[in-house]
Chains A and B, each alone.
Chain A
C-alpha cells in the first residue's frame, strides 16, 4: 500500500509505443535509480506519472499509496503527493520564486485558509540557505536567466518546500558542476526518510556516488531489463550502455 506502484504500463505517442509493459514499485523509504541510454522512455515515464496529457496510456495502472492516479489532472497528482523535478525546468517570466512556491503551498490548504507569511519566509530562507541559494533569488523570476545549476537547485528547493511523498527526479544531475552536484545531493539526502520514496532518473553513475540508491534499475527499450543494488551503477559505468544493448536487446520483430 505504501508505495508508488506502476503495473504493466503501455504508453504511446502517435501510435509509437514508448513504454512496454513497464513495471516498477517504489516503497516509501527507498531510493530507486533508473538508468539507461537515451530514448528508452525514462523521461516519458516521469511525465506520464505526473499526468502529462500528450501521452496515450493504452493499458496498465499507476497507484500512489493504493489510489489510482492514472488519468488525473497534473495538479491533482501533485496534491496527492507526487513531485517531479524537471529535466528542463520552464521559465515563468515575472513570477518570482517566492510567489510561485507560495502559490503552490497555498493551493494545498483548505479553502479559506491563508498561508502564514512569516512562517513561510522563515522556512523558505532556511531551505535556500541549505541549498546555498542566495536569498536575493526569492524575487527573481522563476528559472528566467538561471544557469543550469541554478535551475536544478531551484527544483530541489521547490521539492523540499512542498514535502511530497514521492519524488521523481528527471536527470537532475545534467548540467551540474561537481559543487552543485554535491549541494543538490545533500538537499535530497536531507529529505530521505521512511515517509518518502524517490525515483532518480540519470544517465551517469556519478550522482549515485552522493545519493546512494537502495535499488538500481536498468531501462532499455521501454521496460526495466535488469535490477540490482548500488553496485549495479558502477558496473554499468564500467561496461557502458552498449553492454545493456547487447545483453538485453529484444529480438527484432519482423
Chain B
C-alpha cells in the first residue's frame, strides 16, 4: 500500500486519550439514580418498555449478582474499591437512535464528531452504532445490507422486534451466573449491538459500535449478541472512551458471539479508557462446525481491565483465535488473556498475547485451554510475550492448559523482554527523542501481531501507542 493512503487513514482515524478527555453537562431525561435494587431494575425495564420475560431475566440476574462474591481470591483486590451503591446504572436522554447525524442532539453529535466517528463511517464502515452512556444516539447501516436481511440494532430493539432470532441465544453463550460481572450486566444491561447476518451473507466492510461514557459515577453495561448464520461472515469493531473523572467509572459489558456452521466472525476491540475506569468485560463465542471466530483485543488505558475473550469450539474443525495487545502504564493493571474450550475433534485454537508494562504499570496474562481426553487431532498454540519498560514494571503469566489424552497437541511459548537503556541510546543517537525511541521499540514488539490486524485498526493502534509512550517520558 502506498504512503499517501496510509497518511489519509492516519488522519481519518483519530482516537486518543486527550481527544477523549472532555464531557458535556448532564441533561438526562431518564436517570435511575444511584445504587442498585429491584426498583432500579423495574425503572430501567419500564423506561425501555420491555417484555415481562426480559424483566424476569434481569431480576433473576440481580439475585445472582448479590449472591456471588468478588473474585478477589484470584483477581486484584482493587475490585474491592468498586462501590456499587455509588454508581448510576441508567442514564438516557430518552432519544431513539437517529438514522442521520443531523437528528442527533448537538452535544452528543459533537462528542462523536470529535472522536471522528461520522468520518470513519463515510470512509470504510458498513454500519455504525454510537452509544452515549446507556443508549445509542445513532444507528445506521447501509441500505443494501438491510435488503440482504442483515439486522444491526440495539439490545432492546433486538429483543423486542426479533425475539425469534435473538432469544434462543441470549444469555446462552454467557449465562448470567457465569461470574459476578456477567450477572451484573444481565441485571442492568442497556445498549450494545444485536446483529444477525443471514446464511451465506458475507459483509465486506466492518460494522462498528462506539461506546462513550459521558457522566461521572456512571456504569455502562452494554450487551452485544452477534449471530452469523451458516456460511455468513462479518467483522465487527468496537471503540470505547470516557473522560477523565476523579471518581471511578464502571464499564461491564457482556458480548456473546455465535458462529454457525462455516461462518466467520472477527471481533475487534479498540479500547482507550481513561485511568478511572474499571473495565470488567465477559466475552465468549460459540463456534459450530468449521466455523471461525477471531477476537482481536487491544487494551489501552483503564484503571483495571479484566477480560479473557473465549471461544467454545463446539463443532468439528472449528477454529478459535485470540490476538491481544495490552499496554499498562503508570497506575494501570491490565489483567487479560484468553479461554479456549475444545469440545470436538480437529478443532484448533491460537492465542497470541503481547503485553507492555511501563513505569508502575502491571500486566497479567491468564490463559485457559481445555482439551478433554476423548477428542482427537485438536491443536492449540499459545504465545505470550511481555515487554517491560523500566524496572518498576511488573508482569505475570498464568497459563492453564489442560490436555488429556495423546491425540492432541499443544504448544506454549512465553517470553519476557526489556527495552534496555542501550537500545534507547542507540536510537536516540540516530536523532529520535526518548519518547519516539520507546514508541518505536513498542511498535516493533507488537509489529508481527499488527500485521494480522486489518489496516484501519493497526494504524489507529500505532497512533494510540505513540500517544501513550509520549506521555510516559518524564
Contacts and interface: CB of A to CB of B under 8 A. Distances in A.
A249 interface: no
Contact of A78 (B423, B428, B444): B428
A164 to B, nearest CB: 10
A2 B430 CA distance: 22
B440 interface: yes
Given A95-B444, A103-B436, A114-B7, A90 B431 contact: no
Chain B contact residues (Cβ within 8 angstroms of A): what range? 20 to 34
B409 interface: no
B72 interface: no
A95 B431 contact: no
A92 B427 contact: yes
B95 interface: no
Interface in B416-432: 417, 420, 422-423, 425-432
Nearest to A54: B421
Given A86-B426, A114-B7, A117-B3, A79 B431 contact: yes
Contact of A92 (B3, B428, B433, B440): B440
Chain A contact residues (Cβ within 8 angstroms of B): what range? 20 to 34
A101 B2 CA distance: 18
Interface stretch (B43-51, B368-376, B445-453): B445-453
Interface in B1-41: 2-3, 7
A237 interface: no
A214 to B, nearest CB: 25
Main SS at interface, chain B: helix
A25 interface: no
Given A52-B425, A95-B447, A75 B433 contact: yes
Nearest to B442: A94
B383 interface: no
Residue in A77, A84, A95 with the greatest tally of chain B CB atoms within 10 Å: A95
Contacts of B216: none
B443 A108 contact: no
Interface in A61-115: 73-75, 77-79, 83-84, 86, 89-95, 99-101, 103-104, 107-108, 114
B440 A95 contact: yes
Contacts of A75: 428-429, 431-434, 437
B426 A92 contact: yes
Contacts of B259: none
B429 A78 contact: yes
Contacts of A73: 428, 433-434
B444 A104 contact: no
Interface in A102-135: 103-104, 107-108, 114, 117
Given A90-B423, A103-B436, A78 B431 contact: yes
Contacts of A83: 429
Given A90-B426, A92-B423, A92-B441, A107 B431 contact: yes
Nearest to B2: A117
Contacts of A114: 7
A108 B426 CA distance: 16
A19 to B, nearest CB: 18
Contact of B443 (A89, A95, A107, A162): A95
A141 interface: yes
B447 A84 contact: no
Interface in B389-445: 417, 420, 422-423, 425-434, 436-437, 440-441, 443-445
Contacts of A92: 423, 426-427, 440-441, 444
Contacts of A74: 425, 428-429
Given A73-B428, A158-B430, A94 B436 contact: no
Contacts of A84: 429
A158 B3 CA distance: 21
B406 to A, nearest CB: 35
Nearest to B7: A114
A101 B423 CA distance: 15
Contact of A94 (B2, B3, B443): B443
Nearest to A75: B428
A107 B433 contact: yes
Interface in A37-75: 50-53, 73-75
Contacts of A52: 425
Contacts of A158: 430
Contacts of A90: 420, 422-423, 426
B431 A162 contact: yes
B448 A94 contact: yes
Given A78-B430, A117-B2, 10 more contacts: A52-B425, A53-B425, A73-B434, A74-B428, A75-B433, A79-B431, A83-B429, A93-B445, A100-B427, A117-B3
Interface of A: 50-53, 73-75, 77-79, 83-84, 86, 89-95, 99-101, 103-104, 107-108, 114, 117, 141, 158, 162
5 contacts: A74-B429, A75-B433, A92-B427, A100-B430, A162-B430
